[in-house]
Structure formats: structure tokens, C-alpha cells
């Protein structure tokens, strides 16, 4: 089945916003084995929307039209799709009542145009909007099913996940023999990781695809057309082989995992508290920990020790250590981690000191970063990260945080 995604919006055509919706939809469709080979973007002009929908009707059997369902004059998608398909628009009375009630509750004056958000395409079904006011529609004409979705990413994602996908699975009897599994990695360039995974898989029926997030890589393993037990076995074997080879970069299998969340989970399971003294990262490690809901169970607080003086004053790095080895050194990193741990009476203390760039420091080029992990009753481990100045200031800081989180993950795992 050919699939087409049409994105609608002046702000897309003008490059004012990045189109995250199309990537999200394509990714969701891929999980039910649908690939949208045709993807086009048009502005809010009715003639261009109509032309795009008509073109799509000729070459695809499943067509998505995304964006332009707001209440203003700019929003021409629903009437344009109706015109392209030769359909009437129908008022959903229940939804119109919901919109009115919503405005009343918020004490906001409704404009007459808001009724437009309660219309959908005749002979189709209305797709509920779990977080916004505009209805979506799904309608089949001849051999083509057309789906209309709203533009704001939060509404778009909620409608795709909660209203559209269940309907698609029902209408297209999507085979359930596709089984996927998500593995998570950090610290290895994506191209290298995927080369190694592809060679590890050899001629296995497992297909691996990667999805890059800032500082993390998600790899989805997929098998299809197999009996469930065999599929699970095949995935188990492939997963085990990949983890064995990429052990040092791997941090978990599952949906919605992230490295900081995993570290907080492991710390919590052990009843450990952690703290930090951060120089070049300037608080980014602690801020990343605190992005995890429930971080307060494992983190009381810590230090940003940017200047040499702050390293001495806040976490007691001896002035002699800094004089002898410099601030960019394993020795200073060790003293920072131990000093922070003691100051906060925590189980673990981590530290970051180095050169984010662009300028060199103490003769060290940008990308020279030392980190340390101090743990109660263990010798402190300090090491230099493998980073280069070419990465730029922000990536050096992000990668530093990610690599220490990964080291913590492995340490806490090994304790089990």
C-alpha cells in the first residue's frame, strides 16, 4: 500500500518551524509496517492544498493531511480536503457543545469561527482530539482513505496515538506478526554503531534501524512474518549478540527509556544519594538528573565550581593540587568528586573539569575533559574522556554528562 503525508502550513513553507509532525507520524506508521514514500508540504492556500490532495489520491491508498485545522481564516485544510474529495462537511453536535463548554469554563469569549473546529468530512468518522479543540477526520472514497489531522504537535501526537492508530489497526487489519524491541546506546557515533550492529546481525532476519536523540541512540530491532515464539527467540538472540559486542555503550532495552532516568532508577533501588561538583558542564549534570521526575529521592543538591577559587572554597580542592596539576587534571577531578561527596554526605560524588572551548585553558585544547566518580568505601576513579574540540562547546558539555551517566549506569548495574 502506498502512503502519502501532506503537511500544510505557511510557517513550514517559510521555514519558521521545523516539521516534527511528519517524522513522528512516519515513525509511528513504520511500527505498523507502513512507509510513506510520498511526503509533500504546501502552504495554506486552498488551491495548493486541493492540488496536493488530488495528486495524492492518484498515487497513494492512504493519505494524511496534517495541519490547518485552527479557527482562523488561515486554516483552510478541512474545507479544501472536502472540495478535493467532493465531500460535504458535517457538524459534530457533541463536539461543538464540548468546545462551547470549554470556552465557558475558561471564561474566554468564543469567536463565531470556533464552530469550524467541530466539522468533519461526511461519510467519514470524526477522530477525537484528546488535548485540543479541532476534530480530525478519517474518510474512505473509492480505494483511498484520507485522514485529516491538526497541526500543533501536542494535539497531533495525542490524536495519532490515541485516536488514529487504533483505527488504522482496525481498518487495515495490520498484521501482528511484526515484533519490535528498542535498545538504547550512548557514547558511540551512530554510523559506527550501526555498522557494527549490521555486521553482528549478518544474515539474520532481524532488521535494525537507528533513531538519534541528542547524545543518545535508540536502535529498533524488528522481525516480521514469524510465529510469535520463534520471533521472540530470534530477537532474544540478536539482542544478546548486539549487547555482547556493544556492552560499553548499551544502557537498556525498552520503550521511553533515557539514561538519566535509568541512573535515577538504579540509585533509588540501592537507596543511594548522589551529588556533583561541575566545572565546564556548569550544572548540566545536576539539571539532567533533576529532569527526571522523582530525582529528589536520590539527589539533595550539589555544586557548580566554575572558577578555581570555587573549587577550593565549595568542595575543598587543595590549592596545592591545583597549583601542581592544574584545574584540568585527573587529580583535581578526584578532589572535586571526593570533596562534593563529603560536603553533601552522599554515597556518590561525581565531577567534571575541562575545556569546553572555544579557547584553550592551561595549554589544553578544547575537548580535554577529566571526570571522576567518588563512592563511599571505594577508591575514587578519575579518567579523561575521549572528546575533540571539533565537537563544539555544547556537544562537549552534553557528551561529558552522557558519558558520566553511562559510567554510573555500568557501575550501579555491576553492583547487582
Q: Which residues bind its own copies (CB under 8 A)?
A: 12-20, 22-30, 35-43, 48, 209-212, 276, 278, 280-287, 289-291, 293, 295-296, 299-307, 309-311, 314, 344, 356-359, 393-394, 397
Residue 306 Cβ vs its own copies, minimum distance, rounded to whole Å: 5
- Torsion-angle region of residue 123: left (phi > 0), alpha (psi -120 to 50) or beta? left
Q: Which is nearer to its own copies, 119 or 285 (CB)?
A: 285
The single-letter DSSP state of residue 109 is: P
- Quote the distance between the C-alpha of residue 148 and its chain's center: 25
Distance CA 124, CA 67 (A): 18
Query: How many angstroms separate the CA atoms of 96 and 110, rounded?
Result: 12
Q: Which is nearer to its own copies, 43 or 239 (CB)?
A: 43
Distance in Å, CB of 40 to its own copies, minimum: 5
Nearer to its own copies, 33 or 92 (CB): 33
What are phi and psi for residue 102, nearest 5 degrees?
A: -60, -45
Closest CB to its own copies among residues 189, 225: 189
Q: Least distance (Å) from its own copies to the CB of residue 87?
A: 26
Least distance from its own copies to the Cβ atom of residue 231, Å: 21
**Is the Cβ of residue 71 or residue 252 nearer to its own copies in the bound state?**
71
Dihedral sign, Cα of residue 181, residue 187, residue 190, residue 191: negative
**Which H or E run contains 39?**
strand 38-42
Tell me the DSSP string of 371-415: EEEEETTS--EEEE----GGG-HHHHHHHHHHHHHHHHHHHHHHT
Least distance in Å: CB of 259 to its own copies?
16
Question: Quick one: 12 or 385, whose CB is closer to its own copies?
Answer: 12
CB of 256 to its own copies, least distance (A): 15
Which residue in 357, 353, 359 sits closest to 394, CA to CA?
A: 357
- Distance CA(312)–CA(314), nearest Å, equals 6
Amino acid at each position: 500500500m502506498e502512503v502519502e503525508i501532506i503537511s500544510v502550513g505557511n510557517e513550514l513553507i517559510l521555514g519558521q518551524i521545523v516539521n516534527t509532525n511528519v517524522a513522528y507520524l512516519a515513525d509511528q506508521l513504520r511500527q505498523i509496517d507502513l512507509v510513506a514514500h510520498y511526503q509533500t508540504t504546501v502552504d495554506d492556500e486552498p488551491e495548493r492544498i486541493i492540488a496536493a490532495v488530488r495528486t495524492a489520491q492518484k498515487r497513494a491508498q492512504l493519505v494524511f493531511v496534517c495541519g490547518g485545522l485552527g479557527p482562523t481564516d488561515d486554516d483552510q485544510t478541512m474545507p479544501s480536503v472536502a472540495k478535493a474529495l467532493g465531500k460535504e462537511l458535517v457538524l459534530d453536535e457533541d463536539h461543538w457543545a464540548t468546545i462551547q463548554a470549554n470556552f465557558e469554563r475558561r471564561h474566554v469569549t468564543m469567536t463565531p469561527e470556533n464552530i469550524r473546529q467541530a466539522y468533519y468530512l461526511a461519510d467519514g468518522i470524526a477522530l477525537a482530539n484528546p488535548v485540543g479543540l479541532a476534530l480530525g477526520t478519517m474518510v474512505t472514497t473509492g480505494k483511498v482513505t484520507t485522514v485529516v489531522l491538526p497541526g500543533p504537535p501536542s494535539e497531533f501526537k495525542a490524536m495519532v496515538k490515541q485516536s488514529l492508530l487504533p483505527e488504522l489497526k482496525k481498518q487495515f487489519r495490520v498484521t501482528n506478526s511484526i515484533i519490535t524491541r528498542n535498545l538504547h546506546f550512548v557514547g558511540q557515533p551512530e554510523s559506527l554503531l550501526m555498522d557494527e550492529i549490521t555486521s553482528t546481525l549478518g544474515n539474520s532476519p532481524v532488521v535494525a534501524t537507528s533513531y538519534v536523540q541528542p547524545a543518545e541512540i535508540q536502535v529498533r530491532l524488528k522481525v516480521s512474518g514469524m510465529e510469535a515464539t520463534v520471533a521472540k527467540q530470534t530477537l532474544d538472540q540478536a539482542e544478546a549478540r548486539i549487547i555482547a559486542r556493544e556492552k560499553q555503550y548499551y544502557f537498556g532495552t525498552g520503550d521511553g527509556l533515557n539514561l538519566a532516568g535509568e541512573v535515577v532508577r538504579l540509585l533509588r533501588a540501592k537507596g543511594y544519594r548522589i551529588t556533583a561538583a561541575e566545572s565546564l558542564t556548569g550544572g548540566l549534570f545536576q539539571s539532567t538528573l533533576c529532569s527526571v521526575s522523582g530525582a529528589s529521592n536520590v539527589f539533595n543538591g550539589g555544586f557548580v565550581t566554575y572558577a578555581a577559587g570555587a573549587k577550593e572554597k565549595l568542595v575543598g580542592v587543595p590549592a596545592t593540587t591545583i597549583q601542581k596539576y592544574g584545574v584540568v587534571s585527573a587529580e583535581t577531578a578526584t578532589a572535586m568528586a571526593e570533596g562534593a561527596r563529603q560536603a553533601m554526605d552522599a554515597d556518590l560524588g561525581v565531577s567534571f573539569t575541562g575545556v569546553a572551548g572555544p579557547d584553550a585553558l592551561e595549554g589544553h585544547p578544547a575537548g580535554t575533559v577529566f571526570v571522576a566518580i567518588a563512592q563511599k568505601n571505594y577508591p575514587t576513579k578519575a579518567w579523561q574522556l575521549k572528546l575533540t574540540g571539533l565537537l563544539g562547546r555544547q556537544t562537549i558539555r552534553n557528551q561529558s554528562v552522557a558519558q558520566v551517566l553511562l559510567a554510573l549506569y555500568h557501575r550501579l548495574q555491576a553492583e547487582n
